[in-house]
Amino acid sequence: MPIEDLQQAAQKIAGFLATLNKLGGLRLKYRISAGPATGDGAQDAVSQSPSLYVELAGPDVLLVTQHNGELLLALETIAAQILRLDPREGDMVSFDASNFKALRAAELRLTAETTAEKVLRSGVPYAFPHMNSRERRLLHMAFRGIEGVETASSGEGMERFLAVYPAGKTNLPVTPPPKPRGFGDRGRSSGDRGRPRR
């Protein structure tokens, strides 16, 4: 379901960002605009619906893009929840900063090319570390243009990952990446996880 009132939605996001600056002590500037499709190259029905784009700048913009843009993606997720979008409609709100998404997409394309060469040379499937659905989709799309390999996503929720196989051999076993650590696991060794804290 598309965003019905883009102006009202933009005002809600602006209010959220103003509060974030005030209470979070951040120094972020933002520009919100509307358009018909997402900027990440996705070509699906949702991406053709009216969307909001938020471009972040200012002294604290590096905080938003570090750690593979975790904060940028978190802001995008929160904005989608503020607008009460279905999880599948999250692409209707897109945040970017310092051209991060285009640079990340180029990095993922290069990663796809390197991984494809490795899989074709070895004949062994490769599993990527866990990543968000947008980056998995970008990788799937990058691999579409490479002959001799195919991709598939496996797992559920936070444990979902993308695997690359030699073409026609998706039945080969693939070693899943290590499970992502939860906030409660930080600072604990892998042998301690699952044991109760004292």
Say which amino acid occupies 70. Answer: E
Residues 84 and 112 both lie in one domain: no
Write down the pLDDT at residue 50.
52
CATH of the domain at 134: 3.30.1370.50
Asked whether residue 94 falls in the same domain as residue 14, the answer is yes
Edge-to-edge strand list for the sheet holding 93-97 = 29-35, 51-57, 93-97
Same domain? For 22 and 81 the reply is yes
For the chain, the domain total comes to: 2
Give yes or no: residues 13 and 92 share one domain.
yes
Residues 76 and 120 in one domain: no
Maximum alpha-carbon separation in the chain: 54
pLDDT (mean) for 118-141: 88
Q: What is the mean pLDDT of the chain?
A: 82
The boundaries of the domain holding residue 93 are 6-98
* Per-residue pLDDT tens over the stretch 54-81: 999 999 999 999 988 889 988 988 998 9
> 98, 127, 150: which is the final residue of a domain?
98
